[in-house]
Chain A
Amino acid sequence: DAKTTQPNSMESNEEEPVHLPCNHSTISGTDYIHWYRQLPSQGPEYVIHGLTSNVNNRMASLAIAEDRKSSTLILHRATLRDAAVYYCILRNAGNNRKLIWGLGTSLAVNP
C-alpha cells in the first residue's frame, strides 16, 4: 500500500492562508488523494479528494503536483475552528477501497 509523509505539526495565524503539504512518491495510477481532518474528541471529517486535477470545495482547495508524487491542502483563511489533525490518505480505487492512515499534521491556529 502506498504511504504518505506529512510534517508532524504546523502553525498558522487566524485569517491567513495555510498550505499543508503531503508527499506520496509511491502513489499508483488508481490511488485517489483524500484529505480528512480530526478535531479534538471528534471522529475524522472528510475535507476533499482528487485524482489528477486541482479541486476546490467550500472547505478547502487541493493542489496536486503534475507527477502526482505530492499534494497540498490549502485553507484559504484559517479560523480557530480549523485547528485539527489533518490526514493525507491514498485511497485505492480498486475493489477494497481501503484508506491507509498516517500520523497526520497537527495544525495550530493562533488568534
Chain B
Amino acid sequence: EAGVAQSPRYKIIEKRQSVAFWCNPISGHATLYWYQQILGQGPKLLIQFQNNGVVDDSQLPKDRFSAERLKGVDSTLKIQPAKLEDSAVYLCASSLYGDRVSSAFFGQGTRLTVV
C-alpha cells in the first residue's frame, strides 16, 4: 500500500515570498490533515478536511495560510507571504472516513526554512 506522499521534501525561501506544499493521501482516505511541527515540539494541527470540506481550521493563520483539497483527494497548503517564524516541518496525514478510531498515516513532511 502506498503511503502519504508529500512534495517538495525541502524548501528554502526568503521572507515575504510565497510557497506551496502538495500532499497525496492514501487512496480511499477521506480525512486529510495538515500539521506544522516546529523544531523540538509536537505537531500542531493547522487544518483538517473531510473529503473536500473543512472540518477544523481554527489554528490556521488565515491571513497568510490557505489550503484546499480539490475533488477530495490531493491537497495543497500555501503560505503567502512567509515569515521567519513559519520555518518548520509541514506534515500531511490521512485517515479512513467513518472509522472513528482509525490511526492517521503521515507523510515524511516538507521542511521549510524562511531566511
Listed in ascending order, the chain A residues whose CB lies under 8 Å from chain B are 32, 34, 41-46, 49, 51, 87, 91, 93, 95-99, 101-104
By a CB distance below 8 angstroms, the chain B residues around A43 are: 4, 91, 93, 106-109
In the assembled complex, the Cα of A41 lies from the Cα of B108 at a distance in Å of: 8
Asked if residues A98 and B107 are in contact (CB atoms below 8 Å), the reply is: no
Which residue of A has the minimal Cβ distance to B55? A96
Bound: A73/B48 CA distance, A: 27
CB-contacts of B55-103 with A (<8 A): 55-56, 91, 93, 95, 100-101, 103
Contact A96 B48 (CB under 8 A): yes
Q: Which B residue sits closest to A97, measured CB to CB?
A: B100
Q: Which of B22-40 contact A (CB under 8 A)?
A: 31, 33, 40
Asked whether, in the complex, the Cβ of A97 is within 8 Å of the Cβ of B105, the reply is no
Q: Report chain B residues within 8 Å CB of A44.
A: 43, 91, 93, 106
Closest Cβ neighbor of A30 among chain B residues: B100
The residue that A49 contacts in the complex, of B103, B106, B107, with Cβ under 8 A, is: B103
B20 interface residue (CB < 8 Å to A): no
Knowing that A44-B106, A49-B101, A101-B42 touch, tell me 18 more A-B residue pairs with CB under 8 angstroms. Answer: A41-B108, A42-B108, A43-B93, A43-B106, A43-B109, A44-B43, A44-B91, A44-B93, A46-B103, A46-B104, A46-B105, A49-B103, A87-B42, A91-B101, A93-B100, A93-B101, A96-B56, A98-B45
Q: Which residue of B lies closest to A89 (CB)?
A: B42
Q: Give Cα distance in the complex from A105 to B14, angstroms.
A: 33
| Cα–Cα, bound, A34→B101 (Å) | 9
Across-interface contacts of A99 in B (CB, < 8 A): 33, 45, 104
Q: Which residues does chain B contribute within 8 Å of A42, judged by CB atoms?
A: 108-109
Task: Report the Cα distance A34→B41, complex, angstroms.
Answer: 18
**Chain B: which residue is nearest A46 at the CB level?**
B103
B43 and A101 contacting across the interface, CB-CB below 8 Å? yes
